[in-house]
Amino acid sequence: MSALDLINPTSGLYRKREPVFPRVVKGRFRQLKWAVMIFCLAVYYITPWLRWDRGAYAPDQAVLVDLANRRFFMFDIEIWPQEFYYVAGLLIMAGIGLFLVTSAVGRAWCGFACPQTVWTDLFQHVERWIDGDRNAQLKLNNAPWTAAKLSRRLTKWSIWLAIAVATGGAWIFYFADAPTLANQFISGEAPFVAYATVAVLSFTTFTLGGFMREQVCIYMCPWPRIQTAMLDEKSLIVTYRDWRGEPRTQGVKKAAAAGEKVGDCIDCNACVSVCPTGVDIRQGPQLGCINCALCIDACDEVMGKLNRPRGLIDYLNLHDEKHERAGGAARPILKTLLRPRTLIYFGIWCAIGIAMLFTLGERARLTIDSAQDRNPVVVTMSDGQVRNGWTIKMRNMEGRPRSVELTMAGLLQGRMWTDAMDRKDAARSVRLNLAADATTRLHLYVAAPAGPAGETPFALIARPQDATPGTNDGREAARDIKFIRQ
Partner 1 sequence: MTDHQKRIDEATGTNLVGHEWDGIEELDTPLPRWWVYIFAATVVFAAGYVVAYPSFPDTAGLTGWSSRGQLDQTLKAETTARAPRLDAIASTRIEALAANPQLMRSAIEGGRAAFKVNCVQCHGAGAAGSKGYPNLNDDDWLWGGDIAAIEYTLQHGIRSPGSGETRFSQMPAFADILSRTQISQLVTHVQAISGQAKPSAAGALLFAENCASCHGDAGKGLREQGAPNLTDGIWLYGGDRAALTQTISKARSGVMPHWEGRLPRVTIKMLAAYVHSLGGGEGNPAPAAPVTADAATGEANVGS
Footprint of partner 1 (CB under 8 A) = 1, 5-7, 9, 11-17, 69-71, 80-82, 212, 215, 219, 371, 373-376, 379-384, 387, 389-391, 393, 395, 418-420, 422-423, 432, 434-435, 438-443, 445, 450
Cis amide bond preceding 449, omega within 30 = no
Residue 357 burial class via C-beta count within 10 angstroms: exposed 0-12, middle 13-18, buried 19 and up:
exposed
Residue among 148 and 379 whose Cβ is closer to partner 1: 379
CB 78: neighbour CB atoms within 10 A? 20
Residue among 102 and 367 whose Cβ is closer to partner 1: 367
Residue among 280 and 301 whose Cβ is closer to partner 1: 280
Residue among 142 and 375 whose Cβ is closer to partner 1: 375
Residue among 254 and 443 whose Cβ is closer to partner 1: 443
308 close to 50: Cβ distance less than 8 angstroms: no
Give least dist CB 331 to partner 1, A. Answer: 28
Give least dist CB 321 to partner 1, A. Answer: 18
171 close to 205: Cβ distance less than 8 angstroms: no
Give least dist CB 417 to partner 1, A. Answer: 9
Which among 412, 447, 469, 234 has a CA at the least distance from the CA of 333? 234
Give least dist CB 116 to partner 1, A. Answer: 16
Q: At what angle do helices 178-187 and 192-207 cross, to 10 degrees?
A: 90
Residue among 9 and 259 whose Cβ is closer to partner 1: 9
Residue among 158 and 486 whose Cβ is closer to partner 1: 486
Give least dist CB 476 to partner 1, A. Answer: 20
Residue among 28 and 70 whose Cβ is closer to partner 1: 70
Mention every residue, 6+ apart, whose C-beta is less than 8 A from residue 436. 56, 57, 58, 396, 398, 399, 400, 401, 402
Give least dist CB 131 to partner 1, A. Answer: 22
Residue 310 burial class via C-beta count within 10 angstroms: exposed 0-12, middle 13-18, buried 19 and up:
middle
Q: How far apart are CA 87 and CA 59, in angstroms?
A: 20
Give least dist CB 364 to partner 1, A. Answer: 14
Give least dist CB 5 to partner 1, A. Answer: 8
The amino acid occupying position 337 is: L
Q: How far apart are CA 271 and CA 297, in angstroms?
A: 8
189 close to 96: Cβ distance less than 8 angstroms: no
Q: For every residue of 152-172, which 3-state class applies, written as one string?
A: HHHHHHHHHHHHHHHHHHHHH
Give least dist CB 44 to partner 1, A. Answer: 27
Residue among 13 and 193 whose Cβ is closer to partner 1: 13
User: Which 3 state secondary structure label does DSSP give 263?
Assistant: coil
166 close to 45: Cβ distance less than 8 angstroms: yes
User: Which 3 state secondary structure label does DSSP give 132?
Assistant: coil
Give least dist CB 193 to partner 1, A. Answer: 18
Sheet architecture: strand order including 77-79? 63-66, 71-74, 77-79
Report the largest interatomic distance among the alpha carbons of the chain, rounded to a whole angstrom.
Answer: 118
Residue among 68 and 258 whose Cβ is closer to partner 1: 68
Element (H, E) at 128: helix 115-131
Exposure pattern of 17-51 as b/e (b: 16+ CB <10 Å)?
Answer: eeebbbbebebebbebbeebbeebbeebeebbeee
Element (H, E) at 304: helix 294-305
CB 206: neighbour CB atoms within 10 A? 22
Residue among 69 and 151 whose Cβ is closer to partner 1: 69
Q: How far apart are CA 293 and CA 278, in angstroms?
A: 13
Residue among 406 and 411 whose Cβ is closer to partner 1: 406
Give least dist CB 72 to partner 1, A. Answer: 11
Give least dist CB 292 to partner 1, A. Answer: 21
